[in-house]
Amino acid sequence: MSESLQNKIRFKDQVETLMSMETPFKITFSKPRHQNKEVVNVYVKPAVIKGQLQYSFTFRHKHRDEVKNYVRQQVGDVIDNLLGNMFTIATLFTSSEEWVLLQSKKGRATLNIRKSLSPVVIDTAHDRQKARPVPAGSGWLHALGLAGEDGRIFDKSQDKYKQINKYIEIIGGLLSDVSPEKIFQVADMGSGKGYLTFALYDHLVNIKKLRVKMTGYELRDDLVGLCYNVAAREGFVGLTFQQKSIEQTVVTGVDMVIALHACDIATDMAIARAVLAGSTYIVVSPCCHKQIRGVMRHDNVLSPILKNGILEERQAEILTDGLRALILEAHGYRTQVFEFISNEHTGKNLMITGVKATPDPAARKKADEIMKFFGIEYHELDRQLTKP
């Protein structure tokens, strides 16, 4: 028997001994093999599930974790697969020792055993699902194609599900002072398939216990029909959908205006309608910035850099949204501009929020100075706000 095989057997035998004695331990699998393109690491620990000792394997993918639980008799085969097909390093942690199994590309395995530098605390409690603002079992998630009938979010929908939850965290914090006594009115412009619209309505009504009247506006008739029917089936009596463009919407008396991923000047149109209607809250996630790039004629210290088209384009995007925030502040809104979800999940990840406050004349002056410095003829939001 080769030394490499003996080392692998010793490693597995030690795991088997620990399991037979029901002694707590942890294992970390690392350094993926070339054929393993999906799983970054695997973490193993005992877990007491419904009174039975099992072994919990957390498969860490690039954008999500997947947990699988095995009984003692299954663990050996799972470890064989992980060592043989997926990873080259396995580290076993006990309360007093660390066993490190290292495998070379040529298949040679070495085993290093050393005392733990510090005591390893091993919790055998079963991993709890992370509490999320939007429960995975929500019926509308299944109706809109993000989850199965059992409530499990599809693998392909994980990024969208994370985006939905982050969105609700942000809006939930923004609306922390809304009174439950009044009817809170929301206009969602360009609601699309309604993922975020349903999530917000469900959260405000069923979690925050607010009285809400929300309308999603969308041009595509098939999506309006789909969302209208899902809202009816879910019993969301205060949620409705209409086939209208942003230009056709009437937001008089609306407390909150939302426009997510509205293209180019459609974002400015939505902001302007909200400002002119005196809405208390404005939430936009801009997309497709083109207007400023088309009217920017800069001749300043940055021009030698901005001669590169990609850099000028990015500068124009920053100016577009930065000026939107300043113009909002000039019209009496307290603003924030931030990344609301990692760009690993979506490139459309910038969000601007505005909350009704006191007009800031200095913001208008700053906006004018910036536009002059970059040779910007006009900003579409200004035009929309001064339309007759």
Q: Are 269 and 247 contacting, i.e. CB atoms less than 8 angstroms apart? A: yes
| Least confident window among 16-30, 195-209, 307-321, 332-346 | 332-346
pLDDT, position 107: 80
Indicate the pLDDT class of residue 342, thresholds 50, 70 and 90: low
277-295 burial code (b ≥16 CB/10 A, e <16): bebbbbbbbbbebebbbee
Nearest to residue 283, comparing CAs of 187, 177, 179?
A: 187
pLDDT, position 199: 96
Which comes out higher in pLDDT, residue 291 or 149? 291
Helices (H) and strands (E) in the chain — how many of each? 12, 14
pLDDT, position 130: 55
Domain boundaries, the chain: 3-115, 147-385
Q: Where are the beta strands (DSSP E) in 80-193?
A: 87-93, 97-103, 109-115, 183-189
179-193 burial code (b ≥16 CB/10 A, e <16): eeeeebbbbbbbbbb
Question: Distance between CA 181 and CA 288 in Å, rounded?
Answer: 39
pLDDT digits (tens, 9 = 90+) for 84-137: 999 999 999 888 889 999 999 888 999 999 887 555 556 555 544 456 788 888
pLDDT, position 177: 85
Q: Which two tokens stand for residue 46?
A: 């005992």
147-385 CATH pick, 3.40.30.10, 3.40.50.150, 3.40.47.10, 3.40.50.1100: 3.40.50.150
pLDDT, position 95: 81
pLDDT, position 387: 84
Nearest to residue 260, comparing CAs of 191, 359, 331, 160?
A: 191
Question: Distance between CA 250 and CA 277 in Å, rounded?
Answer: 9
pLDDT, position 124: 58
CA angle, residues 292, 296, 300, in degrees to nearest 5: 135
pLDDT digits (tens, 9 = 90+) for 253-269: 999 999 998 889 999 99
pLDDT digits (tens, 9 = 90+) for 35-53: 888 899 999 999 888 778 8
